[in-house]
Structure 1
Amino acid sequence: MFTGIIESLGTVRDLKKEGDNLHITVFSSITNELKIDQSVSHNGVCLTIVAINNDEYTVTAIRETLEKTNLSDWKTGDTVNLERAMKLGDRLDGHIVQGHVDQIGTCKSIENANGSWYYTFEYDALLNNITIEKGSITVNGVSLTVVNSKQNEFSVAIIPYTYEHTNFNAFEVGTRINLEFDVIGKYVSKLHLYKK
């Protein structure tokens, strides 16, 4: 379980295919605080640490994960948003994030708002995920508030701190991002489908 508050940025150092699996080696300033078997959110994807070597660690993504996230787009040198699992009893500064990506979205537009930024993302509405105005959404692991909610798109407003301390500053129009919709909203949406 995560909060969507990014702790650190990591750099993809190596990518190795093995069958349908992808082994991802990441450099991070928090590596010395990690341990094997620990869960870490990578751009919103919960992955288990399988090896640690000095200031780098390795995680493995299986086919299911690669098909539902943007991990297959990653290249050596890419910057990744990192968050360790929350501790029971800590403050929940973001919102409840499972680290289970629901689908991939695409950056539709970026608007510089003289000190902040508005990012608009679109996604496939046929997968029955929803946003609501002022509701929570996780974009590449970052807990954000939805503005301008529509059937298959939404916007978020980014403050300078978030812009500087996450990989939002690398987004361009067309960038594919990981989306995890609000867990409570997902249950409500599912109940609505069952009532039909």
Structure 2
Amino acid sequence: MYTGVVEATGEVTANERTGDGRRLRVALDAADITSGESIAVSGVCLTAERVGDGWFEAFLSEETVARTNVWEAGTTVNLERPLALDDRLHGHVMKGTVDAVTEVVGIEQRGEGWWFEFAMPAAYAPYFVEKGAVALDGISLTVASLTDETFAVAVVPATYERTTLSEMAVGDRLNVEVDILAKYVERQHQSLQ
């Protein structure tokens, strides 16, 4: 489980096709990670299968490749280790299972902060509510406004500066994980019908 509070960024140094998926290598400055541990890479829960001095390697299954934004070598990614049971929950509950990919349709600086607008992933629109949680590339954000076609988030300077949002441009694609609690509520509601 993750919270969407990005701990660091890393750089994809290799992304190679294998017979049944892709193998990803990520370089990072501080490596408090060991082989076999989970790590969220721009919102995607992966297992660090191999770890070296300043890097780790993970496997992406075909399912993961089909649902996520696959990064090219040179791409900066957000990194977060799983929540420990004695930690505070600063963002929101996230599983690291990406639901969809969205596209940046607008970026505007507003005072010291930023306003980002994204294309609404139609199949997941029912899970979006104003002031509700959404994870974008592993970043816990609050939906500030929405229409049938778009949703927007307001980004504070600290989040902008310490995540990949500072590198985003209109047309870029990000991973989306909708609020898991909304999915559970919908499932329970359906079972009562």
* TM-score range normalised by the length of the shorter chain: over 0.9
Alpha-carbon distance in structure 2 between the residues aligned to 1:110 and 1:116 = 11
Structural RMSD (CA): 1.5
Residue 109 (structure 2) aligns with = 112
- Alpha-carbon deviations, 1:131-182, whole Å to 9, x = none? 1111111010000111112334211111111111100011111111101111
> Aligned residue pairs: how many?
193
Pair 1:123–1:19, CA change in 2 (3 A) = farther
Higher mean Cα deviation, 122-131 or 175-184? Answer: 122-131
Q: State how 1:110-189 maps to structure 2 within 5 Å.
A: 110-127=107-124, 129-189=126-186
- Distance in 1, Cα, partners of 2:156 & 2:117: 15
Q: CA deviation at 1:47?
A: 0.2
TM-score, with structure 1 as normaliser = 0.93
Change (3 A) 1:129 1:23: farther
Residue in 1 that maps onto 2:12? 12
Q: CA–CA distance in 2 between the matches of 1:26 and 1:126?
A: 31
- Contact 1:129–1:189, Cα closer than 8 Å, also in 2: no
- Cα distance, 1:115 vs. partner? 1.0
Q: Could you tell me the TM-score, scaled by structure 2's length?
A: 0.94
- Deviation string for 1:3-40 (max 9, x for gaps)? 00000000111122111311111111232x11111000
> Any stretches of 5+ residues in structure 2 without a counterpart?
none
Deviations 1:94-121 (A, max 9, x none): 0101101111111111111121110011
Evaluate the alpha carbon distance shift between residue 179 and residue 129 of structure 1 in structure 2; reply closer, same or farther with a 3 A threshold.
Answer: farther
Letter in 1 for 2:47: T
Q: Structure 1 CA distance, aligned partners of 2:157 and 2:181?
A: 29
Instruction: Determine if the alignment matches structure 1 residue 23 to structure 2 residue 20.
Output: no
Structure 1's 98 and 129: CA in aligned 2 closer, same or farther, altered over 3 A? farther
Equivalent position of 1:52 in the other structure? 51
Contact 1:130 1:151 in 2 (8 A): no
Contact 2:124 2:178 in 1 (8 A): no
Contact 2:125 2:148 in 1 (8 A): no
